[in-house]
Structures are given as structure tokens and as C-alpha cells.
Structure 1
Amino acid sequence: MSRYRGPRSRARAARLASGVAVLLGLALSACTTGPSDAESTAEANIVVTTNILGDVVSQIVGDAANVRTLMRPGADPHSFEISAQQAAQMDEADLLVSNGLGLEEGLQRHLDRVAAAGGAQFVAGDHVDVLRYAASDAHGEGAAEAVDPHFWTDPLQMVAVTEALTETLAALPALDEDARAAVTGRGTAYAAELTAVDATMKQRFAEIPPDRRALVTNHHVFGYFAERYDFEVLGTAIPGGTTLAAPSAKDLDALVTAITEARVPTIFAESSSPDRLMRVLADEAGLTVDVVSLFTESLSEPGAGADTYVAMLHTNTDRIVAGLAPGEPAGR
């Protein structure tokens, strides 16, 4: 849970506030619509909202079904939009796979439309042990009741999703007996792979002493990660669990104070959001603080370090260890 302390100076707060509107505009302009994946000879058509889940579905089904992912690499899942053609694909899919838990804010009306029409859906968030934001972490009326949709930062949560998803995919009417068996086998193997990745991550994080396990990020995306691997989310630049929220000068000034007092060596910026705001925070903290990019809400283009969910987990682990472990050089 985040710790915030009182503001230190009006002047610093004013400097922080001056760039907020421009930075938010840049963050929103980074959102893009997503492409449809290439067709295969399979008869079942699956449409997936986010690219992280798109990769997971593809790992499980192989060539047993067509998988179309709506969200482009590097886009923001909270606000990306789709074309009319993609909206029609959602309506016509044999199965629509979404994250749920309020993540796909820009797609919610389309998801609601498919649900109202009785379309087959799999909502990943229905199969995880959901965390809720603390009242201090989510702003606005009813904030204490807000759920955290970023479960994939804990691979064991994704194991639970994989197991349920495998059962759903194997039951698609368009699949024959051989395809069902293949899907079941691939799903079992993928769940085992994620379990092994979790063990590796836990071993790597043992290199970071408890007093250095403090995370500062753009917004609250690491709740499940922190719970699983015993980290503290010291604070975030944007309040709450959505990138659509607006940071106030008071919030930013309090975060600078927390960074300064805790002497955090590295703060982390999300790959799907401009890191200028985090660099302003680093400059204002008056310390030698590295700003390191993590892949948190979106996969990358091929070859960029996070073109699959498993690659994303390994890359983020390497960067967090490099940024926080004593004597490790932080990458940029």
C-alpha cells in the first residue's frame, strides 16, 4: 500500500503542476487501435481485447483456432479504441476473451453490447483472487471498493486464468476431438511454464534486500506483484488504477517527498506511457535516481523484449533486479 507524506514547498508543486496537462495529453495520444491477426484454416474464431491475453490464448490454442487481438503492442488497455470492423468481429466471434475488472474502459460499451446479445465470453478477471485498492490508492467516491485489474503481474494469477481458459477453449463447438486434446495439452504445458517462471522470479528477487523493495511507478499496476513477491508500492505519479486519472500537484509533491526520504535508487516508467512525468519526479527529488522502463500493461513489438507474456515477465524481472539490488547497474 502506498505511503504519502505532506507537501514540502508551493514552488515545487507549481513546477510539477505546470507539465501535467501536456503530459496527460501525450499519454492519451499514445493509444492506438489494434490490428486483426492473420487467418488460419481453423473454423473457430476467437477475439481477444488485450495483447497480453491475446498471447496467452495463442499459446493455448496453437493453430486450432483463429485468434484476433484488438490491442496493438505498446497501446494503453485503459483507453485504446477499435474500428467498426473490429467491433463487428467482437459480435461475430465464437468466443470473446477480455480482462474485465474495469480494465478495458475504452471498450466497455462494446463488451456490454456483446453480453446483452448473448455472445460467448470469457472474462479473465472472474478467475483470479481479486485485490482491491486501498482508499488512499484510488481516488473518488467509492474508491475504497475499486478492484485492481492488473492481475497478470503475478504469474500464478495467470496460471489460474490459463486453467479456466483451457477448459473453455477446449469446449468450443467448432473444435474436433483431436483439436480439443491438443488445446488441453498445450494449456497444461503453458500453466506449468508460468509456474516455473514464478519460481525463477522469486529466486531472482531474493537478491533485493527487504529495505530496497520499494516501487515507484506511473500508476498502480503492481499490486498483485507486490503481494506475491513482498514488495512495497511506495507511490505512483497518477492516482488510482487507471491511466485516465489526473495527478494533482499535491500528489506529485508528496511522492517526491517519499522518494527523497526513502532514497529510492530507481523509479519505473511504463512502456505504454510517456516517461517525462517520471523524469520530472526524478529531477525534483534532487537525488541520483534512474528512470527505467517496464512492460506493464502491454506487450512490445517483436524483438523489443516483451513480445510474449513470458518474455515480458523475464525482462521486467531483470530490470527490477538491476534497478533495486545493491551494486547492480540500472538500465535505461
Structure 2
Amino acid sequence: MTTPTRTVLRLHRLLPALLTLALAATATACASTDDRPKVVVTTNILGDITREIVGDEADVTVLMKPNADPHSFGLSAVQAAELERADLVVFNGLGLEENVLRHVDAARESGVATFEAGKAVNPLTFQAHADGGPEEEAGQPDPHFWTDPDRVRKTAGLIADQVIENVDGVNPKRIRANTGRYDERLADLTTWMEKSFDRIPDRKRALVTNHHVFGYLADRFGFRVIGAVIPSGTTLASPSSSDLRSLTEAMREAEVRTVFADSSQPKRLAEVLRTELGGRVRVVALHSESLTDKGEGAGTYLQMMRANTTTMTDGLIGN
């Protein structure tokens, strides 16, 4: 019969071996996790697109949280370190992620492959509008290319190329298959958007937004951009009283009574127009620069674009 004392002695002798096995298992688990291919993406819109392309072939880390502002979000030290451990970094560029681009540059300098999506899709430039802006940015590339689904189709294919070229261990055939399936869904989105916007009379196809974000959509689907509350391509700028006067005059002339404001931004600036135009302005929320959490209406790029198209169509028909 085994006594309690002998049992304790046996456990004591086995303890070093058990600890060694446990440490070895932990090290193996860590090694297997660290060995997984890694793609890091700055914005959540590009993150969703990249996940559709990559599937289960690599880990995809998205730095920007849902309902955030790409112009102002920043990184923790841990997130900044993730960039330099990635096999590939996908970022929007063209100045969009204003507080993150220096970290992307640091990762590139350390030898990480990076892909600037906005620069690769024949970017449009900011144009001066009736509101007088964006004066300082006129002629500069517009980073908001995702409002044109055709450019996103091109982006998806280019991301696939980058993943296959730079991320070891992925299966190129699976990446191409994922890309093909997603391309079909993007093509369907474009067709659906065209049919939806066709319901809007030409005289009502005029946009006023919180800041200049829908230039690509306007160019692709035949809208006129009247102006923006913030006469800039970034939410970090602020309107002057003369900016607001210029915009309200342009709105009166174009008979526009609907302002589309990004859902991630306070609507205070757009609300000012209600006073300027005698309270006859509707402020309608769109998901223009960030996805939402899952289940909140714009959890994916496809959901965001469909939600925005429906909201814009209804808002302008009733304008």
C-alpha cells in the first residue's frame, strides 16, 4: 500500500520533468503561433477586404478599431511593434492615416514589405468646389478611393499579388480563388449601386458632406459635389465662418437641403447649417470612413456600401 509520504516523494521527483514538458509545450505553441504568416492592415475597411483575400492562409491583424476616424486614430507601442513583425503591411496611404504613417515608414525601413493601396489605383485629386475648398489640398491625391467599388476590385487583386509575393507559406491557388469569389461580389455591388442611384433625378444628384470624402463615388456614379462643412479632405481641419457662409450660399443655389455626415464624427458642425439655412436642412449619417462592429449595419465593406447607397438614395430623392 502506498503511503501519503511516498506519494509526495514521487511527485517531488517528477516535478522537474513535468515542468520541462510544460515549458516545452508552451515554447512549441508560441513557436507555432509566431510561425504563422502575418499581414497587418492599418484601416478597418482595408482590413475587411484583405481578410476576404487571405482567408485562413495567414493571420490578418487590423489596427484601426470599428467606428474610429482614420485621420486621427493612433497606435499603442504593442501595435507599432506588430508592424515590424509582419510579413506584409497593407495601408491606405495618400496621407489618410495621419498618425500611423510614420510607423509604416519605420516598418518599411526595417525590411517589412508594405503596400500603399491608394497610390496603386490611379488616385483622383481633390478639386476646388463651390464652398471654396479644399483650397490647400486642391490638386493633391484624394485618399478615399474605397467609395468607388471598381477601384476596390483593382485593390483586391493587387493585395492578392502582394500576399503571394511577400507572405511565405500561403497557398497561391487559394488566394486566387478567394480573390475571384470576392471580385464577383464586388461586381454585383457595382451593378446594384448603379441601379439604386438611377432612381435619383439628375437635378438632385448633388452631395454635401461633413468633409470631402465622396469624390470617387461622385466621379464613378455621376454626382456633383457641392461642398463640405469642413472644406478639407481630413476631419482634423476646422471650418471658418466664411467657409460656412460659402457653403450655405452654394447649397441655396443648388437647392440642396441634405447634408451627409460620417457616423463616426460628431454632427455639431453639420447642425450649424440648420441655423444658417433656417432649419430646413436634414443631417443624415453615413458610414463613410470606418466600418462598424459586426451587427451594427456596416460590419463589412459590402454592407457599408449597400447601407450608404440606400441612405444616400432615400435622402436625395426626398431632398
* TM-score of the superposed pair, with normalisation by structure 1: 0.82
Distance in 1 (CA, whole Å) between partners of 2:34 and 2:81 is 20
Q: Distance in 1 between matches of 2:45 and 2:221?
A: 21
The C-alpha deviation readout for 1:138-171, integer Å capped at 9, x for no partner, is 233xx33311000000000101101111122133
Residue 322 of structure 1 is matched in structure 2 by: 314
Instruction: Say whether residues 1:291 and 2:291 are aligned partners.
Output: no
Q: Is residue 129 of structure 1 aligned with residue 122 of structure 2?
A: yes
Gaps of 5+ in 2: 1-31
Kept in 2, the 8 Å contact 1:76–1:298? The answer is: yes
- From 47, 70, 80, the counterpart of 1:87: 80
Partners of 1:284 and 1:214 in 2: how far apart?
19
| Pairs within 5 Å for 1:206-285 | 206-285=198-277
Residue 158 of structure 1: aligned partner:
152
Q: Is the 8 A contact 2:44 2:62 kept in 1?
A: yes
More displaced, 104-113 or 261-270? 261-270
Instruction: Report the counterpart of residue 108 of structure 2 in structure 1.
Output: 115
In structure 1, which of residues 117, 135, 138 is the aligned counterpart of residue 134 of structure 2? 138
Name the amino acid aligned to 1:138. Answer: P
| Number of residue pairs aligned between Structure 1 and Structure 2 | 285
SS of 1:320 mapped into structure 2: helix
Cα distance in 2 between the residues matched to 1:237 and 1:311: 26
After superposition, give the CA deviation of every residue in 1:20-64 in whole Å (9 maximum; x if it has no partner): xxxxxxxxxxxxxxxxxxx98981111100000000001111111
Whole-angstrom CA distance in 2 between matches of 1:186 and 1:74: 26
Identify the range of structure 1 (78-87 vs 285-294) with the bigger mean alpha-carbon deviation: 285-294
Read off the aligned partner of 1:71 and give its amino acid letter.
Answer: M
Going from structure 1 to structure 2, the CA distance change for 1:117 and 1:42 (only over 3 Å counts) comes to closer
* 1:213 CA drift (Å): 0.7
Q: CA deviation at 1:173?
A: 4.3
Q: Specify the code of the residue in structure 1 equivalent to 2:173.
A: A
The letter of the residue matching 2:107 is: V
Structure 2 length as normaliser, TM-score? 0.85
Which structure has the larger Rg over C-alpha atoms? 2
Q: Is the 8 A contact 2:93 2:143 kept in 1?
A: yes
CA, structure 1 residues 173+297, in 2 after alignment: closer, same or farther (shift >3 Å)? closer
Cα distance in 2 between the residues matched to 1:74 and 1:171 = 32
Question: Does 2:169 match 1:181?
Answer: no
Sort the Cα spacing of 1:200 and 1:41 in 2 relative to 1 into closer, same or farther, 3 A.
Answer: farther
The amino acid that maps onto 1:57 is: T
Check conservation: 1:138, 1:146, Cα contact below 8 A: no
Match of 2:5 in 1: none
Q: Provide structure 1 residue ranges, at least 5 long, that are not aligned to the other structure.
A: 1-38
Matches of 2:213 and 2:49, distance apart in 1: 19
Match of 1:67 in 2: 60
In structure 1, what is the Cα distance between the partners aligned to 2:301 and 2:49? Answer: 7
Contact 2:144 2:216 in 1 (8 A): yes
Alpha carbons 1:207, 1:321 under 8 Å: kept? yes
Moved over 6 A (4+): 39-42
Q: How much is the aligned-residue C-alpha RMSD, in angstroms? A: 1.8
Q: Secondary structure at 1:292's aligned position in 2?
A: strand
Alignment partner, residue 170 of structure 1: 164
> Identity of paired residues, percent?
45
Give the secondary structure class of the aligned counterpart of 2:180. Answer: helix
Q: Report the Cα distance in structure 2 between the residues aligned to 1:256 and 1:181, rounded to whole angstroms.
A: 54
TM-superposed CA distance for 1:302, in Å, is: 1.3
Q: 2-side partners of 1:113 and 1:322: how far apart?
A: 45
